[in-house]
Structure 1
């Protein structure tokens, strides 16, 4: 249960962390005119952030167990069979 809470907390903060990483003050730190594999540094940074967010979301989705729906209250076993 504690592992699920930790994962849910990570899932809550992942989009916030992603939004912080693509804010203009941080993105402009990588706008220096250099290149990485022929791409401007700013594009390589944005692609890296995008890839990190997708990979983290995928890993988080695989880590969390699926919730099973709970039976409705007020219906007896006999009512479900009819």
Structure 2
């Protein structure tokens, strides 16, 4: 289960890079405005908010990582 969630975290990172890159963001550079705000700004803040929300949900689902248990006695020699 943890492996799938880590893969999802990697996919979320790659999707965020792709969605905020200028070639994709420039697709929303219209002369139109929504409530007086340019569409490009609304797009960027919507993507940003969605990424924050997805990251928060994903981090809640990840189980806590436990440190590896070793058989050594703490390094005394």
TM-score where L is the length of structure 2: 0.84
List per-residue Cα deviations over 1:7-54 (Å, max 9, x = no partner): 110101211110100111111110011112321000000001100111
**Paired position in structure 1 for 2:40:** 42
TM-score (ref. length: structure 1): 0.80
1:52 aligns with 2:55: no
Whose Rg is larger? 1
**C-alpha root-mean-square deviation of aligned residues, in Å?**
1.5
Determine the C-alpha separation between the residues in 2 that align with 1:45 and 1:55. 15
Count of residues in correspondence between the two structures: 74
Aligned structure 1 segments of 4 or more residues deviating by more than 6 angstroms: none
